[in-house]
Chain A
């Protein structure tokens, strides 16, 4: 009996414990919900965003970052509707097998859905521009930088280097993100001895800018600042030039306009535009260039800014899940999000860090369009 006890206690038990440790763990399906708009007015953001998220998660899964586990992405289209976003985030949050939510897109949507995500204690990783989206609680994260930071880079360049004195400002008024960027730029000008001769707004559905174009020309500004989607900005410039806008007027845009769509829509009319950028379409560092090459190979076209943002969101989500332990939970993923530091991404200067305030930092620079090419002024 003593020998049996000895064999079981001193030999078999440790063997069984070691065997349990080395035995292959059961593969799990890790569910991520992506609630974005691939239809409606934000489809221009959501469609490339989805491509980028898909690409990043597929690449990270292929690289084995999730071990035996598999990632399952549940895409839901909220059709650019805030109510639909609330309903979908609620539905996704109620499903206990979903670990985190990527989305929604607009600040207004994020502010409406944030409390729902917090109620369900699930990480919500949004593209919202305004930091107010984070106020809902510690489960909300954003991928975009703070307008005050990156527009200040543009404002500083406009005042110190371009010496602008009186800008004509046009912004989208039915999307808070554009207004925030405009305010950051205009405030910088006002605080540094420059200013605006007019602060006008348009709707995101507007296409007729003939009256606005005449107004711009008659205001005789030395700078035209646009906080609009790329195609709309290009369109305003074309119509303003046809209305007689001098080629001496300095053109300045927002971050979203650093897009191939801006060049395609504006042609030679947008030459000379200065833009603050978090993503240069030709890439400013090796990681961005590698991403652009892979994206072009996969999709047959150059990535838009939102594809790069989506790719970054996919990389961040993948890193958070893989760093959340063998058995990731909603809470461990939230804590892992806060530990994201110097993650290699195509945005900004290439290193993505989430601060304690849940605001990301990855840097921005100013570029200018010359003969259809992007040139960094740095």
Chain B
């Protein structure tokens, strides 16, 4: 059972990582806590679901969800964050405006779904189970792991190996200096919010497929988890979000498996608390939040 549960934890943790990456990316670069990020995940799941219900194949639905998540995230940036940024009062105002954006998106989804819990049709993803060394591995778990790894690798490549990625990191390090060097910060905001939303959209479809539950409130528990993961990994640290996401998934799974389930949240957050006592800035965090700064 232990090996099986470790596998379960890694797969779930991979999805947590993917979702938390977007949250961490926006914070790491722009120092914005986007509390509408859970609603973007839900939007991605809804777009994926309704695309499949309209008869589109799953890969197309996944692409639409990624694009849709990205665009919704950009829309949030345009409407909830940019006006505040222009006034120079973005820090706390952004938290409130993102809560507002979150509520609006959730309310729209509630109307669309008539408050029902929805799910992908049963035949959307083939149920194929492999027995590998006594461990049950489903094709869906493999797909989730591959998708999470591929998207994380693509993000890392984009940030570390492309010209646009260098510009993003330049803005993360010092926005004013980047502007003096000719970087248009609005384009960087557009990129980071789009990528963040795209990752959330992909996570939404994966979660909807794996856990069979798509609901207008589905993003809320994941948002709380993403926040905890970002703090555990180090606020703004991309690598930290990846590692902490996996760790979060593992702790959650193993505590459910071996301890009374009523204690799961207490165990997760106590563990995080203990880790933060040892490493106050998180596993990969620096004293000044935003690890991308030091990677220029």
Name A's B-contacting residues (CB within 8 A). 38-41, 43-44, 46-47, 173, 200-203, 205-212, 214-215, 218, 229, 231-232, 234-235, 238-239, 242-244, 261, 265, 267-268
Contacts and interface: CB of A to CB of B under 8 A. Distances in A.
Contact of B116 (A38, A44, A232): A44
Nearest to A268: B122
A201 B263 CA distance: 9
Contacts of B213: 207, 231-232, 235
B1 A242 contact: no
A214 B8 contact: yes
A304 B293 CA distance: 54
A206 B220 CA distance: 10
B11 A242 contact: no
A238 B212 CA distance: 9
B10 to A, nearest CB: 11
Contacts of B256: 211-212, 215
A207 B8 contact: no
A205 B213 CA distance: 10
B160 interface: no
Closest 10 CB pairs of A and B: A231-B117, A211-B256, A207-B211, A43-B115, A211-B253, A207-B213, A210-B8, A200-B261, A205-B221, A235-B212
Nearest to B9: A211
B257 A214 contact: yes
Given A41-B217, A235-B212, A207 B138 contact: no
A60 B112 CA distance: 31
Dominant secondary structure of chain B at its interface with chain A? helix
A40 B207 CA distance: 21
B129 A43 contact: no
Given A40-B217, A46-B115, A243-B136, 11 more contacts: A39-B107, A43-B110, A44-B115, A200-B260, A205-B220, A211-B9, A214-B1, A231-B117, A231-B213, A242-B138, A261-B117
Interface of B: 1, 4-5, 8-9, 11-12, 107, 110, 114-117, 119, 122, 127, 129, 136, 138, 207, 210-213, 215, 217-218, 220-221, 252-254, 256-257, 260-262, 265
A206 B12 contact: no
A141 to B, nearest CB: 26
Contacts, number: 92
A208 B210 contact: yes
B194 to A, nearest CB: 26
Nearest to B212: A235
Contacts of B5: 211, 214
Nearest to A200: B261
A238 B124 CA distance: 14
B197 to A, nearest CB: 21
Nearest to A231: B117
Contacts of B119: 231, 235, 265
A202 B207 contact: no
B111 to A, nearest CB: 10
Contacts of A206: 221
A44 B122 CA distance: 22
- Most A C-beta atoms less than 10 A away, residue of B1, B127, B212: B212
A214 B265 CA distance: 19
B257 A211 contact: yes
A205 B38 CA distance: 13
B3 to A, nearest CB: 10
Contacts of B211: 207-209, 235, 239
Contacts of A244: 129, 136
Contacts of B252: 208, 211
22 contacts: A43-B110, A43-B115, A44-B116, A47-B114, A173-B261, A200-B261, A202-B261, A203-B221, A207-B212, A207-B215, A210-B12, A214-B8, A215-B257, A218-B1, A232-B213, A234-B212, A239-B211, A239-B212, A242-B129, A242-B138, A244-B136, A265-B119
B4 A201 contact: no
Contacts of A268: 122
A173 B116 contact: no
A230 to B, nearest CB: 8
B128 to A, nearest CB: 10
Contacts of B220: 205
A210 B256 CA distance: 10
A243 to B, nearest CB: 6
B116 A261 contact: yes
A210 B207 contact: no
B143 to A, nearest CB: 14
Contacts of B138: 242
A208 B116 CA distance: 18
Contacts of A239: 211-212
Given A173-B262, A207-B211, A47 B115 contact: yes
Contacts of A267: 122
A46 to B, nearest CB: 8
A169 B221 CA distance: 23
A40 B213 CA distance: 16
A143 B136 CA distance: 45
Nearest to A80: B217
A206 B114 CA distance: 20
